[in-house]
Amino acid sequence: MKQSRLLRTSLACALVALATAACAQSGSVQTAASTPRASSAAAPVGVSAPVRIEQGLVQGTAGKVQGVTVFKGIPFAAPPVGDLRWKLPQPAASWEGVRDGSRFGDVCMQNPAPQRFPPNGATDSENFTGMSEDCLNLNIWTPAKQAGEKLPVMVWLYGGAYNEGGGNAPFSEGDHLAAKGVVMVTFNYRVGPFGFFSHPELTAEGGGAAGNQALGDAIAVFRWLKDNVEQFGGDPNNITLFGESAGAAMNAGLVGAAGARGTFERAIAQSGGWMGLGIATMTPNHVPGATLPDTPPPAPAPGGPGGFGNMPPSAELRGLANARQIGAPTLAQLRALPAEEVQQKLRGHGMIIDGKIITEDLSITFENGRQNPVDVLVGSNEDEGSFAGGPPTTAEAWRNGAAQRWGEFAELGLAAYPAATDEEAQAQAPQPFSDTLAWHMRLFAEQQAKIGKGSWLYFFTHDPLYDEGRPDLGAAHTGEIPYVFNNLCAPRTFPGGSSVEKMCGNPREEAFADQVSQYFVNFARTGNPNGSGLPAWPATRELGPNEVMVLDADGSGKGPWIGEAKDRLYRAMYEARVARPLGIVSSGN
List the Cα angle 495/496/497 in 5-degree steps. 100
Does the active-site annotation cover 477?
yes
The Cα–Cα gap between 477 and 382 comes to 9
Q: What pairs with residue 157 in β-bridges?
A: 243
| pLDDT number for residue 544 | 97
The Cα–Cα gap between 439 and 444 comes to 9
Kindly list the strands in the beta sheet with 557-560, ordered across the sheet, starting from the edge strand earlier in the chain: 61-62, 69-75, 137-142, 183-187, 151-157, 234-244, 266-270, 375-381, 455-460, 547-551, 557-560
| pLDDT number for residue 295 | 61
Does the active-site annotation cover 176?
no
Contacts of 9 (CB under 8 A, 6+ apart): none
Measured between alpha carbons, how far is residue 305 from residues 197, 199, 342 in Å?
Answer: 10, 15, 15
DSSP secondary structure letters along 12-51: HHHHHHHHH---PPPSSPB-S---PPPP-S--B-SSSSPE
DSSP secondary structure letters along 515-537: HHHHHHHHHHHHS----TTS---
| pLDDT number for residue 209 | 97
| pLDDT number for residue 388 | 84
Does the active-site annotation cover 245?
yes
Give start and end residues of each alpha helix (H) in 152-303.
Answer: 175-178, 192-195, 200-205, 213-228, 246-256
The Cα–Cα gap between 268 and 271 comes to 10
The Cα–Cα gap between 153 and 176 comes to 14
Q: How many helices (H) and strands (E) does the chain have?
A: 20, 14
Give start and end residues of each alpha helix (H) in 505-587.
Answer: 507-526, 564-574, 580-582
Amino acid (one-letter) located at 57: L
Per the residue annotation, which of 382, 384, 480, 509 is the catalytic one?
384
Per the residue annotation, which of 314, 477, 498, 517 is the catalytic one?
477
Closest CA to 496 of 507, 508, 484: 484
Q: What is the CATH number of domain 1-382+453-464?
A: 3.40.50.1820
User: Judging by beta carbons within 10 Å of its beta carbon (0-12, 13-18, 19+), is residue 335 exposed, middle or buried?
Assistant: middle
CA 152 to chain centre: 20
Furthest CA-CA distance within the chain? 72
- What are the average pLDDT values for consecutive 10-residue runs of the chain, which has 589 residues? 44 52 37 41 80 98 97 98 98 97 98 93 96 98 97 98 97 98 98 98 97 98 98 98 98 98 98 95 95 64 45 88 95 98 96 98 98 98 89 92 96 97 95 97 98 98 96 95 98 94 98 98 98 98 97 98 98 97 74
**CA neighbours within 13 Å on the CB side: how many for 526?**
7
Closest CA to 265 of 222, 209, 298, 228: 222
pLDDT digits (tens, 9 = 90+) for 361-386: 999 999 999 999 999 999 999 999 99
Q: Could you tell me the pTM of the whole model?
A: 0.92
Per the residue annotation, which of 26, 245, 271, 386 is the catalytic one?
245
